[in-house]
Structure 1
Amino acid sequence: MKSMANSKLFSVLFIQLTLVLVLLDLANAQGLKLGFYSSSCPSAEAITKKITTNFISHTPSFAPKLLRMHFHDCFVRGCEASVLLNSTTNNQAEKAAIPNLSLNGFQIIDAVKAALEKKCPGVVSCADILALVARDAVSVIKGPFWPVPTGRRDGRISLASEVLTNLPFPTFNMTQLKSSFASKGLNVKDLVVLSGGHTIGISHCPSFTNRLYNFTGKGDTDPTMDQNYIAQLKKKCKPGDTTTIVEMDPGSSKIFDTDYYTVVSKRRGLFQSDAALLTDNTTNAYVQLQKTPKGSTFLKDFADSMVKMGQIGVLTGNSGEIRKICSRIN
């Protein structure tokens, strides 16, 4: 009996050890690992968190902007900070592409980088800073916290021409969305989960006014959008308005919660890409499941998908460089 008990205990311990090794393997995917700077710059993550917390505490609206910046970076060339580079005389960088003209929060990345260069010169990459800042910013507004394996290096190329062919657009239908996410190694669950990032933040009218005034080119509205919501949006966004901003999650745009899925289920998602989530069995089922906070898995799922997204196309080892200033190559 004792031998059998020992055998069962060994089996349990073996399974637990196997799970630990699998998790470590995932964390080390593509050369990234948790605590990458534990020896080379032990205070790197603490410094990043302190500066980010200071900015977000004063201006919480930066949180969705930094999350969006991280997303835009990873979907073009991978998570290697190409979105942070400025244009030069001979090159239009990603910043110059239309979808990136509204990106904001670069000063926070620069502040963290300056502090880390002072503490540990030439050690911490801008790509890692962006990944950590996005996580810490969301955490400060009481959103989910996720582990960020580090060890990314910075790319040396940034092309405005690559943005439009890589970023998913707010006008995308489900087929286009699936294709865009799949090309980055993300599945349908990641798609519906990361769309939930629209629970915080705002958008400018041009991103959705085609749904209000000229959906099929005949001066009509989008039939998949709630007509009462269309009437409300028309009061805010007149034809040609490029400056007015609208909450993506009305009444809850400063809180990281499941309300986005409630909004989408009521056909009040702001973008066509939001509405598209109701057209697929898998994504629609997720929307219906998450719209009730009790039993929701959204916060955990979001953390998992962000870890996965943060590993898209990373540069590690001797690839790329560690920029001294995030807006220009060395």
Structure 2
Amino acid sequence: MASSNAIPIFFLLALLFGASSAQLSETFYDRTCPRLPNIVRAAVKKAIETDIRAGAKLIRLHFHDCFVNGCDGSVLLEDAPGIVSELNSPGNQGIQGLEIVDAIKAAVESECPNTVSCADILAQASKDSVDVQGGPSWRVLYGRRDSRIANKTGADSGLASPFETLVQLKKKFSDVGLGTTDLVALSGAHTFGRSRCRFFSHRFANFNNTGRPDPSLDANYRGFLQGVCSAGPDTRANFDPTTPDVFDKNYYTNLQAGKGLLQSDQELFSTAGADTIAIVNSFAAREGTFFKEFRQSMINMGNIKPLTGSRGEIRKNCRRVNSAMGGEGHDVM
């Protein structure tokens, strides 16, 4: 009788432990790396001082990491035996910032060796990138571990494309457990940063084989962009033509004026009857509303399928998995 009662108790404890190990926490590094937020913030500020696009690069890496297999640092892995990098995916064309992550990781390792995952560094660096440039702040949850694999196939199918419709965008967000408000709020990260002309020049003429420009693109803005892109398809244009290096609500007022840079941006406001229109209007009307929802959506995204407990590893070098002999890092609970 006693042994039969022990079985369900054992499984109950196992379930409770499993649930607790999967929880991320603000205090995860309080004892092992208490200065982590300060270290990362200082490195992010230094990067932005020399490259105004550094913040946008870091947050894009975090986004593209979380949408493929969850927030596990897999986007940072380069090609290696047994690993086909997600960086080879069309959705990661032109993605930049790995050298910034390297510098942040080096600063963290110098004070807290073999302790902080690359996935957690991306989460913290994204927060700092936003609030250093005028956006909201939030408390980052920690405890993610780094993947030992990459998933290029998942990146090919799961990353949002600048050429997609609202229906397609909603599907990709839904697939990772994010809703419509998350879609509109997180798209607001395009309030800073740049995009190459090859990702939006299809809007200038014969849009969707109509023989005409994209009707949702303001004609004057289209003319301006055509002038920018006359230098070539890899020329970059600001996402936000008004305050390109400040994190603010102008992304949404730009959408109202037909000045969303990417098709996928303008779809949020110009898709007839879409429920996203009211959300865009509310964010455009009050920056505090946008900041509140962006903060929560970043936390929601950061919670997508993290590796926790004994799964994964703590990479020593964010671009490659640790050696089988354990010489480049070790597991830290």
Q: Which amino acid aligns with 2:277?
A: N
Task: Give the Cα–Cα distance (whole angstroms) in 2 for the partners of residues 170 and 96 of structure 1.
Answer: 17
Match of 1:53 in 2: 45
77-86 or 137-146: bigger deviation: 137-146
Q: Which amino acid aligns with 1:282?
A: D
Task: Give the Cα–Cα distance (whole angstroms) in 1 for the partners of residues 53 and 83 of structure 2.
Answer: 31
Is the Cα–Cα contact under 8 Å of residues 44 and 55 in structure 2 kept in the other structure?
no
Residue correspondence of structure 1 range 1-330 to structure 2 within 5 A: 30-217=22-209, 219-238=211-230, 241-278=232-269, 279=271, 280-293=273-286, 296-330=288-322
Unaligned runs of 5+ in 1: 1-27
Task: Give the Cα–Cα distance (whole angstroms) in 2 for the partners of residues 216 and 105 of structure 1.
Answer: 32
TM-superposed CA distance for 1:117, in Å, is 2.1
Q: Which amino acid aligns with 2:237?
A: V
Unaligned runs of 5+ in 2: 1-19, 323-333
TM-superposed CA distance for 1:196, in Å, is 0.9
Q: Which amino acid aligns with 2:36?
A: A
- SS of 1:213 mapped into structure 2: coil
Task: Give the Cα–Cα distance (whole angstroms) in 2 for the partners of residues 223 and 42 of structure 1.
Answer: 52
TM-score by length of 1: 0.86
Question: Does the C-alpha gap of structure 1 residues 297 and 171 become closer, same or farther in structure 2, counting only changes over 3 Å?
Answer: same
TM-score by length of 2: 0.86
| Overall identity of the aligned pairs, in % | 42
- SS of 2:275 mapped into structure 1: helix
Q: Which amino acid aligns with 1:266?
A: A
Is the Cα–Cα contact under 8 Å of residues 212 and 221 in structure 1 kept in the other structure?
yes
Q: Which amino acid aligns with 1:171?
A: F
Deviation string, structure 1 residues 164-202 (Cα, Å, up to 9, x no partner): 200011111111111110111111001111111111111
How many residue pairs match? The answer is 301
Is the Cα–Cα contact under 8 Å of residues 33 and 150 in structure 1 kept in the other structure?
yes
211-220 or 187-196: bigger deviation: 211-220
Q: Which amino acid aligns with 1:105?
A: G
Is the Cα–Cα contact under 8 Å of residues 21 and 309 in structure 2 kept in the other structure?
no
- SS of 1:291 mapped into structure 2: helix
92-101 or 131-140: bigger deviation: 92-101
Question: Does the C-alpha gap of structure 1 residues 35 and 98 become closer, same or farther in structure 2, counting only changes over 3 Å?
Answer: same
Deviation string, structure 1 residues 211-256 (Cα, Å, up to 9, x no partner): 1123123542112222222222222224x93221111110211111
Q: Which amino acid aligns with 2:243?
A: S
TM-superposed CA distance for 1:92, in Å, is 2.5
TM-superposed CA distance for 1:60, in Å, is 2.4
- SS of 1:165 mapped into structure 2: helix
Question: Does the C-alpha gap of structure 1 residues 187 and 218 become closer, same or farther in structure 2, counting only changes over 3 Å?
Answer: closer
TM-superposed CA distance for 1:98, in Å, is 2.7
Is the Cα–Cα contact under 8 Å of residues 76 and 318 in structure 2 kept in the other structure?
yes
Is the Cα–Cα contact under 8 Å of residues 66 and 133 in structure 1 kept in the other structure?
yes
Task: Give the Cα–Cα distance (whole angstroms) in 1 for the partners of residues 266 and 44 of structure 2.
Answer: 33
Is the Cα–Cα contact under 8 Å of residues 160 and 169 in structure 2 kept in the other structure?
yes
Task: Give the Cα–Cα distance (whole angstroms) in 1 for the partners of residues 206 and 89 of structure 2.
Answer: 24
Q: Which amino acid aligns with 2:208?
A: T
Task: Give the Cα–Cα distance (whole angstroms) in 2 for the partners of residues 231 and 275 of structure 1.
Answer: 17
Match of 1:19 in 2: none
Is the Cα–Cα contact under 8 Å of residues 91 and 160 in structure 2 kept in the other structure?
no
